[in-house]
Amino acid sequence: MAIITKSSTTGFSARLIESTALAFAAVRAYGKAYINRRSARRLSELPDYLLKDMGLKRDDIHAALSQDWRSDPTFELAYRAGRRDPMREMRD
């Protein structure tokens, strides 16, 4: 009768790979949030008539940018523009 045991290095290397993947995912998410925050700041430079074409108001941009630095302001802007979409009422 043979007893099969796992070596401790297998568990260690699996945890190391998993924690490295988690660290890379966190860095990637931070980079994406930074890029999206920069894009939202650029939207604030547009004139009001262009913001209106996108279904946004200047207050929407300020509210989205005033959220926590880890949140994605473009998600909030898309949500607000979608709530105000006049064509949505015609489709429903």
Q: Is residue 38 part of a domain?
A: yes
Residues spanned by the domain of 78: 16-83
Average pLDDT taken over every residue of the chain: 82
Q: Is residue 10 part of a domain?
A: no
Q: Over the stretch 56-91, which tens digit does the pLDDT of each residue have? A: 999 999 999 998 877 889 888 988 888 876 665 455
Report the C-alpha gap between 9 and 7 in whole angstroms. 5
Q: Is residue 5 part of a domain?
A: no
Q: How many domains does the chain have?
A: 1
pLDDT, position 48: 92
Report the C-alpha gap between 75 and 10 in whole angstroms. 40
| pTM given for the model | 0.64
Q: Is residue 3 part of a domain?
A: no
15-27: average pLDDT? 91
